[in-house]
Amino acid sequence: MSAQRLLLVQQHLHPGESRAMEVKSSPLTTHVLDTASGLPAQGLCLRLFRLGEGNQHWTELRKSYTNADGRCPGLLTPEQMTAGTYKLFFDTEGYWKKMGQTSFYPYVEVVFTITNEAQKLHVPLLLSPFSYTTYRGS
């Protein structure tokens, strides 16, 4: 099954998860590029977590899938954007399996701190089966 077809099935089964988030403007965004193919990583499942009080446990805030452009623009509403420690969990193993490949990294976790709630943050991920890179984008 192609990645595009799989994304359509996922959106049909979970209609509110990715479409509703794309409509809203978010101060936190991500973009995943498949550097092995030179294309956006479409249909990659990701989850956003926030570290709870006392740094005891992670609370899942959102689950979504990257769109046809490899983006997941609506991760947080402006009201949800509060100071704290967050984690983006990217299911890279699931993505590579859909692409008919294996990978060295079964997932990628990017942990970051939000200190200024008014600032827009972009967390891109460059991905291949045997490496990944992330940085604070704009």
Euclidean distance between CA atoms 127 and 101, whole angstroms:
13
CATH number at residue 77: 2.60.40.180
Backbone angles phi, psi at 26, to 5 degrees: -125, 140
> Element (H or E) spanning 31, and its range?
strand 28-34
**What pLDDT is recorded for position 23?**
45
Q: Tell me, rounded to whole angstroms, the distance of Cα 128 from its chain centroid.
A: 15
pTM attached to this predicted model? 0.80
Cβ(108)–Cβ(132) under 8 Å?
A: yes
Q: Which domain holds residue 33?
A: 3-134
pLDDT of residue 128: 97
Q: How far apart are CA 81 and CA 31, in angstroms?
A: 18
Q: Which two tokens stand for residue 46?
A: 């990701």
pLDDT, residue 22, reads 43
Any idea which residue has 């939000």 for tokens? 114
Q: What is the pLDDT along the chain (138 residues), one digit of tens a residue?
A: 444 444 444 554 554 444 444 445 789 999 999 999 999 999 999 999 999 988 789 999 999 999 999 999 789 988 889 999 999 999 999 999 999 999 999 999 999 999 998 889 999 999 999 999 999 988
Bridging pattern class, strands 108-114 and 84-90: antiparallel
Domain count within the chain: 1
